[in-house]
Each structure stands twice: as structure tokens, then as C-alpha cells.
Structure 1
């Protein structure tokens, strides 16, 4: 039985409505984010990286409208947790913290099961933390020049703390020694807290680390740590009384321990874009910025491409130093 014109029009309309509904349903199914996001932190709970990750995760959760759940996976200088990010499903529901060591340094020190440049997608650089030179408050060194002079006069006398071979504190100090033309003995620790404790106790002569680890012991009526210099381009707002190494005659001593957000390689570009936009929005929050700056850090931000270029430049810089100094992990 042949269809009338009216019937054809009715069927066409119904088909169009069906397509529209199907399209809306597909869109609803693929909208991001539609479920909780896991945020892997490759370091132990309670440290500075964990604290900052939790602060950012809360901001992202509020902004994205889904839980952003921090999952600590410490070990192997950040390689374990970063490796889990690299091998996760690339759908935007597993992201994490990527920082100085596993993204720019560890490949020159370890045999790694993943390649940061190949297996990870940069999302956004979130913070740069200029390193600071700290000594015991009873130390005879009132400034870096006095420390350098004593180290040159007595090459075997001074020692310094770090959080292990290839860490930001270790490589910063190796650069400092090279720039200053001095020597000092490396004393590695298993973390920042025991290193700070031994600096306070006078068991090590100096320690180059993030100011946030020194600040609780460098303020108040009876400070136990004195910061002599900060490795930044200009004075840090949270440390206005601490000069830069550049001011003191070491212009190339500009070093930060930094971190950002990363995802597995292959994460859809539209998902990366959404995450980047929400991260940059979170970084503009006044309260968040005040926390970072009060601890000597610098809020970053920017595009995934800018973060990728930054990682590449940091990797080249520190790989050269590691090879030049023949630094090995123990």
C-alpha cells in the first residue's frame, strides 16, 4: 500500500526526533566529568606535595562538580605513582601530580618502565617552589659568601643534607657547589623531615630545600634555622628579607622544585582542555594563592604546551648536570 505524503512527513519527523534524542543521550553519556576522578600523588601523605595536591583536588572537586580523590602511591623517588598514572586508562578519570624528579630527572638515573615524554600528557604546571639555602641558627655562616669561603679554605670540612641522590635538594646543591667553586660532602636522608631535624641539631652544615620545610623553624621568638639565600630570579614575596643567590653574585643559581598535573598519554584533547581550564581557574583563587605564596612558592598555570616545553627544558638542564657530575643512585 503506497504511503501518502502526510505519512512520509510524519515518519520523517519521528525519525528526526529519534536522532535528536539519540544524540542527546550519547552526549549525556560522554559528558566529562561524569564520575569521580582519581588523583594519584607519588609521595607519602603529609608531605608538601601531598598537602598541595589535596588543596588543589578540593578546588577541582568544587569546580568540576565531582569528587577528586587523592590516592598516595609513594616510592622509588616518585616513579611508582607516576608509573601508575602512565599506565592508567586514558579517559580523564585518573590524573595525578607530576613533578621535578619523575618527569625531568629520574630517566637519567634509573631504568624506568615508562617514558615520561611518551607515556604522559602534561595538563598544567601549577607551582614553582624556589629552593632556599638554610643553616642552623647557631651557624657561624651569616651569608653564603662566608660559607663558600670556609668550604674553599677547608675542602673536606663541610657537609650538606639532601633527600637522596637525584632529588631537587641534591641537584640544587651540586649546582651551587659548581657555581661557587667549592666542595662539601653529601649526606642523603630518606625525607625532608629527618634532614631538617639534623640541620637543627647541627649534624649537617647546610641544606638547600623548599622554604616551606624551613619556615616552621625559621620564625617566632626562638628560630632554629636561618635562610641565607633563595634560588629565584627575584625576591620571593613570602620571604622578603631573604636575598637571592643572584644578588650575592651567583646569577645562574636559579632553581625550583616544581609540580603540575599530568594524565596518561592518549587522554582526549577535549578532556585535557577541560582539566586545564579548571586548574587555571583554581590557581586564581585568592585564598589558594595566599597559601602558596606565604610558603615561598610561586603559582604557575598556563597551557599544556607550555608545561610540556618547561619539562623538556628542565630535563635537558639536569640530565647535563647528572652526566657531568657522574651522579649515581645508591
Structure 2
């Protein structure tokens, strides 16, 4: 009898070795409907990203995945909601640069992004494009900076809200270029673009899909993009980094997170599935058509990226005395 038990143990260990590791069950995803929360209104870059990924995730996992929009307070409401959400893996959030790495330094928020939310993977990122209306009197980035230095009261910039990626891009340029553009915050991109087109504000660090139709119509003039490299969809437009300010980078990004107490094994499974989707050729093509660049990462890579972004914007906020 002992001989049979010993043999069974040997076979079990051998099976584990042949399969590449210890014999343990692979953590499965919750067998229930999944909710993917988005902190912005339908139709924007965040909502588009979430729906493209959710559709393929549902197909791959066999789970029902509902995208739910909870806009307000620059995305902070959605982040607080998910921070208090179920920790069984049934709720995910498409987090964003503002609420995750900027807002906690600007104002009192009822969540800690590094404790109450758990990183899963990077999602998508994209540079903003600095555009001006035709009556601004400038046609190049160099002329824009020259105007901001010679007539500082004349140059202002719109943003999608206090603490947003477009706001931070402008404040970073203020520091790097030694200028003092006036910040004009709006409740969203639609209102900012409306006032830019109406010449009530001079410039705007806009998401490319929002700005480029008006550029093509000749109503706006593009000056530069805010990434380190020129994006494939705007190969002829220089970056601010190559226009005299090396290292300048102010990306707009979205990433996948979950409630902070979600078990690591479930987070690992979601990372596996989300990375698979973001690497899917059809998904990449669809996202790129909207000016969105897939950015899949490991959980650890995204956590490190989040800390780096948080430290960067904390410095900018302190230097510009932006505390609300």
C-alpha cells in the first residue's frame, strides 16, 4: 500500500514538472457579469477605449461586460466609486492620468490611488496636440512661445478641467519655456473646443481626434504634439521636445485598475486577458483609427509608471503653486 502511495506521489510531482511548475489551479475570473467603469461621458477617448477593449474581452472570456459611464469631477467620482467597489474581480475601472496621479496632489480626494485601487495594466496613451485659432497671429510653435514671452497677457490656454492632462501640459510648458500662460478650465473637451473655435480662448492642448477635423477644415492651426516622439498618425507635426525643450512629455493615458483589495491572483488573470486584447491586431487597428496607442504592461510595470507620473506632476503642481 505504501509503495502505491509513494508511486502516486512521484507521478504527481513529475506531472507538475512536465507542466512547468507546481500543481495548482489557475485562478478563474468571476462567473458573473463584469462592470467596466469609465469616469467620462460617452463618445470621448476614454469611452471609446473602454468599449473597444470590453467587446473583445467579452468575446475572449465568455463574460458579460457592461461599460458604465460615471462622469464628474474630472473622473474622480468614478475612481472613488470603484475604490469602494466589490473586490471579487467583477468591477474594473478605466483609470486616467488626472485622478490617478494629479488630483491627489491638487485637492483632497476621498481615495488613495496607491492603496484603494490596484493596478492591472496600462491601457492606451496618446499625446495631445497644441492648437490655436486662426486669428491668434501665430503659425508655428516658435512664434507661439515668442508671443507668450513678449505679450504674456495675450496668451491663454483651455483645458478639459483643473488637473486634467491638458491642464498639466500647459503648466509643464509654462515651466519649461519660462512663460506664464493663463489657464482657462472647462468642464470637458466639447466646451473647450467650442470656445477655441469661437476665439474666446487662444490655444488648447486637445486630444488629436477632437482637433484634427477642424485642422483639416482650416479652422485651427496645429503647432506641436506633447509626446517624446511624433505619433504615426501625425508624422509631419513636430513635438515640443524637438522644438527646443528636450524631454518634454505630457501624455494623456488610460489604464485598467480594480478595487484595492482584489486578490492578486484575480488581478493577474485580468492582466493576462487585457494584455491579450491590447495586443490583438484588430483591436490595435481600431484603436489607432481613433488616435489611441495601445500600451499593455505587466502589473508591476504599470505600478512603476504610475509612481513616476505621480512624482512628476507633484513637482509641477508645487512649482506652479496650484494646490486647490
| TM-score, normalised relative to structure 1 | 0.87
Following superposition, the deviation at residue 137 of structure 1 comes to 3.9
User: Which residue number corresponds to residue 194 of structure 1?
Assistant: 191
Q: 266, 271, 274: which one pairs with 2:269?
A: 274
Do the aligned residues in 2 keep the contact of 1:98 with 1:262 (CA within 8 Å)? Answer: yes
Q: 259, 265, 278: which one pairs with 1:264?
A: 259
Return the alpha-carbon distance in structure 2 between the equivalents of residues 111 and 150 of structure 1: 36
Following superposition, the deviation at residue 66 of structure 1 comes to 0.9
Question: Aligned with 2:163: secondary structure?
Answer: coil
User: Which residue number corresponds to residue 236 of structure 1?
Assistant: 231
Question: Aligned with 1:101: secondary structure?
Answer: helix
Return the alpha-carbon distance in structure 1 between the equivalents of residues 291 and 241 of structure 2: 17
Do the aligned residues in 1 keep the contact of 2:228 with 2:247 (CA within 8 Å)? Answer: no
Return the alpha-carbon distance in structure 2 between the equivalents of residues 140 and 103 of structure 1: 37
Return the alpha-carbon distance in structure 1 between the equivalents of residues 289 and 223 of structure 2: 18
Question: Aligned with 1:216: secondary structure?
Answer: helix
Q: 173, 178, 187: which one pairs with 1:176?
A: 173
Do the aligned residues in 2 keep the contact of 1:41 with 1:53 (CA within 8 Å)? Answer: yes
Question: Aligned with 1:247: secondary structure?
Answer: helix
Deviates more, 1:66-75 or 1:265-274: 265-274
Return the alpha-carbon distance in structure 1 between the equivalents of residues 268 and 243 of structure 2: 42
Matches within 5 A, 1:121-160: 121-160=118-157
Following superposition, the deviation at residue 166 of structure 1 comes to 1.3
Q: Is residue 194 of structure 2 the alignment partner of residue 218 of structure 1?
A: no
Q: Is residue 61 of structure 2 the alignment partner of residue 64 of structure 1?
A: yes
Return the alpha-carbon distance in structure 1 between the equivalents of residues 152 and 126 of structure 2: 30
User: Which residue number corresponds to residue 3 of structure 1?
Assistant: none
Return the alpha-carbon distance in structure 2 between the equivalents of residues 224 and 203 of structure 1: 14
Question: Aligned with 2:212: secondary structure?
Answer: helix
Do the aligned residues in 1 keep the contact of 2:28 with 2:266 (CA within 8 Å)? Answer: no
Return the alpha-carbon distance in structure 2 between the equivalents of residues 45 and 118 of structure 1: 28
User: Which residue number corresponds to residue 206 of structure 1?
Assistant: 203
User: Which residue number corresponds to residue 320 of structure 1?
Assistant: 315
Deviates more, 1:39-48 or 1:168-177: 39-48
Aligned residues: 301
User: Which residue number corresponds to residue 119 of structure 1?
Assistant: 116
Do the aligned residues in 2 keep the contact of 1:228 with 1:242 (CA within 8 Å)? Answer: yes
Return the alpha-carbon distance in structure 1 between the equivalents of residues 231 and 95 of structure 2: 23
Matches within 5 A, 1:22-37: 31-37=28-34
Matches within 5 A, 1:70-85: 70-85=67-82
The answer for unaligned runs of 5 or more in structure 2 is 1-24
Deviations 1:68-88 (A, max 9, x none): 101111112211111111111
Question: Aligned with 2:154: secondary structure?
Answer: coil
Do the aligned residues in 2 keep the contact of 1:235 with 1:244 (CA within 8 Å)? Answer: yes
Return the alpha-carbon distance in structure 2 between the equivalents of residues 72 and 327 of structure 1: 28
